[in-house]
Structure 1
């Protein structure tokens, strides 16, 4: 697994502040601006915020949510696990009641800034929230890929039997053939075996090479 690269520079990111307290914006905007972030203030007083995945940029946006809000926004989740929020979330904590902290954690907050806000706490919270979100997102992708390969393993047995029938060989030779072919096609053996089984079921419509959509690096 590749070594995770930690993000230290937050220039050109968007800080989306959600609070009904205008004093938070007055305090946070100068601090976030010095760190290179563009601040967008939003209030829940008039209408609830319900973003779609298209409204947020996972590579640029950071959401800061006031834990004292009476209504909380809806933040879309990553498709890879359905649990991790699409963007990093920081909770602004005034009343440190367990229920408030629980609500912020359910929204996906991975860092907190206590109120009243001190400028020295902002960078640490950004660093923790953004890097922890990146770690969780990468982990979710790995788990999703593993789950996909696990579901595809049933095709390995079927493909081995198909190759044994076609080539008149034993299971070890059939598996070695499939492994070599998957390496040549630069896909996982599970993906290649799925193609072999589907090709066998679709003959003569399907060609002899894996379709382009299956050509993904293992």
Structure 2
């Protein structure tokens, strides 16, 4: 997997501070403002802050979550990425107890700032959080694509066998070559293309209009 380009300019992003620590909020608001971010604050009381339904995007928002809150905030999750939050998270660490650190990691923090927060450490945490989140997202996407192709491989076997029957081919390599050429023309992976043609053939068969897997003009 080719590593993505590292982000180091955050001037068009928005920071959301989920904390009740006035000193941390003041330092972060001033420092992040100088870095070009707009800053908003989500105070919490007894109930957890719920951001799960907000349209937050990784390229636009960074969350700063205080590990000393009574309840961890509810964050929007990335589609198909398990518990990974949709946006980068910086954890604010006050009490360095294993349970607090574990809770921040479970929230999805990819960088940490010790409290009291000092202005000189904010950029490093921001840089690490944004770029590590992007790297994890790329890795999960690659794993998801690999799993999808693995599940689709059974369709390759079915498509090869069906094409051999229809064309009277006795060489599975020749049938596979035809399918690969057609998948390239269709701009699909060989696995995705074989799934399409096998499922199309099954649908035609169910409707009573069964036909060849592919037209001979495509050869």
Q: Shared fold by TM > 0.5?
A: yes
Residue of structure 2 equivalent to 1:52: 52
How many residue pairs get matched? 209
Q: Contact 2:10–2:37 at 8 Å: present in 1 too? A: yes
Q: Contact 1:199–1:207 at 8 Å: present in 2 too? A: no
RMSD of aligned residue pairs (Cα, Å)? 1.8
| TM value normalised by structure 2 | 0.90
- 1:117-128 residue pairs with structure 2 within 5 A? 117-128=117-128
SS at structure 2 position matched to 1:39: strand
Distance 1:36 1:196, change over 3 A: same
Residue of structure 1 equivalent to 2:183: 182
| TM value normalised by structure 1 | 0.90
Stretches of 4+ aligned residues off by more than 3 angstroms: 204-209
Q: Contact 1:199–1:206 at 8 Å: present in 2 too? A: no
TM superposition shift of 1:72:
1.1
Distance 1:59 1:207 in 2: 46
Q: Contact 1:8–1:127 at 8 Å: present in 2 too? A: yes
Q: Contact 1:89–1:108 at 8 Å: present in 2 too? A: yes
Residue of structure 2 equivalent to 1:171: 172
TM superposition shift of 1:36:
0.6
Unaligned runs of 5+ residues in structure 2 are: 215-219
Residue of structure 2 equivalent to 1:197: 198
Distance 1:13 1:202, change over 3 A: same
Distance 2:210 2:52 in 1: 40
Q: Contact 1:53–1:86 at 8 Å: present in 2 too? A: no
Q: Contact 2:160–2:175 at 8 Å: present in 1 too? A: yes
